């Protein structure tokens, strides 16, 4: 039996389980919350994180890691970045020896500044690890709208294996040998998206948004390249494509955080009102740690960091960003 295990029952995990269901005999969708697993099994719908979509009959929902991972041919991780390490610690004894691990979690671990695939390798001791990233809102994937993403690994044979397993009529994968670029692009676009939300909330127009996305991409590229990424990766789906989507799309949770900050709301208040995780908040702190370690300039991220840690108003922070000394355009 061809079996996929999806670790993470949020909106993104549920959407991926749905779009991949026709490609597998069975899809096991694991969620931490036992009550949510029971409700999804009974109602055949994730009413908490992805309401309005019926689960295909071959999706089995469980909160039991051992049962969910039993006989898995591929393991797909879609949990929030802040719990990824612990989930893999708990899952390690049950992951089948030959099953590759595909990470669709976007983030950098605070404190260690490690990418998600680095944590997975450290915790599990596995080498067959790939990264899935690209412009992809969960609701649009669940609706069956055309979506193009990247699967990245230093092992191109593994990319081809995942590409063959996951590609379908509405979900197309391109392969890449640059997991560093794919993961840094995925994590940092959420940071820039909060800044984009601030621009939107302050009522700024298209000029400001275009400038923010362009300079945001320059920041992300500088950091990624300093870590060994290929510049071209950041110009593709896992970089520019995902950045445009998250900065401009109405479904972007990170953009919403910025919009609410611009209205004068407190960050804790905003986060407390959201059922789903906005990874860009945590990743702002991680990005600053990483940028300082790599000695890379990231003025947009530094501005957000000042808003979060110094209580600086979004308007004043934006004004200070604009008043920085001008120089050569460096990408």
Start-to-end C-alpha separation, the chain = 48
Label the pairing between strands 50-54 and 45-46.
Answer: antiparallel
How far is the C-alpha of 117 from the C-alpha of 106, rounded, in Å? 10
State whether residue 192 is helix, strand or coil: helix
In angstroms, rounded to a whole number, what is the distance separating the alpha carbons of residues 280 and 286?
10
Under 8 Å CB-to-CB from 317, ≥6 apart: which residues? 303, 304, 306, 307
List residues with catalytic annotation.
Answer: 189
**Cα separation, 98 vs 126, whole angstroms:** 9
Residue 226 three-state SS: helix
* Cα–Cα dist 224/184, whole Å: 6
Please list, residue by residue across 228-256, b when 16 or more beta carbons sit within 10 angstroms of its beta carbon and e when fewer do.
ebbeebbbbbbbbbbbbbbbebeebbbbb
Q: Can you give 36-96 as a three-state secondary structure string?
A: HHHHHHHHCEECCCEEEEECCCCEEEECCHHHHHCCCCEEEECCCHHHHHHHHHHHHHHCC
């Amino acid at each position: 039996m061809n079996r996929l295990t999806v670790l993470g029952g949020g909106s993104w995990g549920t959407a991926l389980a749905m779009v991949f269901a026709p490609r597998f005999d069975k899809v096991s969708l694991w969620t931490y919350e036992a009550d949510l697993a029971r409700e999804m099994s009974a109602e055949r719908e994730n009413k908490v994180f992805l309401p309005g979509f019926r689960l295909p009959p071959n999706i089995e929902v469980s909160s039991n890691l051992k049962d969910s991972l039993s006989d898995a041919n591929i393991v797909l991780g879609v949990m929030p970045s802040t719990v990824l390490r612990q989930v893999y610690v708990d899952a390690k004894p049950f992951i089948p020896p030959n099953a590759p691990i595909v990470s669709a979690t976007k983030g950098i671990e605070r404190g260690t500044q490690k990418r998600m695939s680095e944590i997975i390798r450290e915790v599990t001791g596995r080498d067959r690890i790939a990264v899935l990233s690209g412009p992809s809102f969960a609701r649009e994937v669940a609706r069956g709208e055309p979506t193009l993403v990247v699967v990245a690994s230093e092992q191109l044979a593994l990319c081809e294996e995942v590409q063959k397993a996951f590609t379908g009529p509405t979900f197309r994968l391109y392969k890449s040998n640059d997991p560093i670029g794919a993961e840094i692009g995925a994590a940092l676009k959420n940071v820039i998206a909060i800044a984009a939300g601030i621009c939107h909330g302050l009522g700024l127009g298209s000029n400001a948004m275009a400038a923010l996305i362009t300079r945001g991409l320059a920041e992300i590229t500088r950091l990624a390249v300093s870590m060994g990424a290929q510049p071209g990766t950041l110009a593709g789906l896992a970089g520019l494509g995902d950045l445009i989507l998250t900065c401009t799309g109405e479904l972007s949770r990170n953009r919403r955080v910025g919009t609410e900050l611009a209205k004068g709301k407190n960050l804790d208040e905003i986060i407390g009102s959201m059922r789903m995780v906005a990874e860009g908040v945590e990743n702002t702190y991680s990005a600053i740690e990483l940028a300082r370690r790599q000695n890379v300039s990231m003025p947009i991220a530094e501005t957000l960091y000042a808003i979060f840690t110094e209580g600086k108003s979004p308007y004043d922070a934006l004004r200070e960003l604009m008043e920085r000394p001008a120089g050569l355009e460096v990408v």
